Amino acid sequence: MAPCDVPVGVITGDDVVKLLKHAKDNGYAIPAFNCTSSSTANAVMEAASKCNSPVMIQASNGGAQFMAGKSIKDKNACAAGSVALALHVRAMAPYYGIPVIMHSDHCAKKLLPWFDGMLEADEAYFAQYGEPLFSSHMLDLSEETLEENIG
């Protein structure tokens, strides 16, 4: 079992909240890494396992494009790359024996099609397995006006 009795592998919902609260209450950070391939995700999980540490694996828009293949120009390539990374992490994380938060990193307004593709994958995964594919997503509208963010 991992810290505070959350399961190993990708965690979601209440387990994420429990882990983040445990980290805050016990004064430790959960490292986060943007991964661009199955190899980088495996390296992150291996290092976390050796340190007996939970970890956050992030998919950025650019990293997801790299995961999909830089030559793919389809508008859905970034979402497909993020989904492929999340599926890989879900398949492998239990073998590393640590909890993993699977997170999408900084989605600006101009990248909303990428965000929508990940949310569609979350819904499809939830329909089949009872939990979302990703643990969390970050919608970052800091480039937008204050009025647009609040209004």
Minimal CA–CA distance to 133: which of 36, 59, 31, 45? Answer: 59
Judge contact between 59 and 105, C-beta under 8 A.
yes
Q: Annotated catalytic, 105?
A: yes
Listed in sequence order, the residues at least 6 apart from 64 whose beta carbon sits closer than 8 Å to its beta carbon are: 77, 78, 79, 80, 81, 82, 85, 114
Catalytic residue among 5, 25, 105, 140: 105
Active site residues: 105
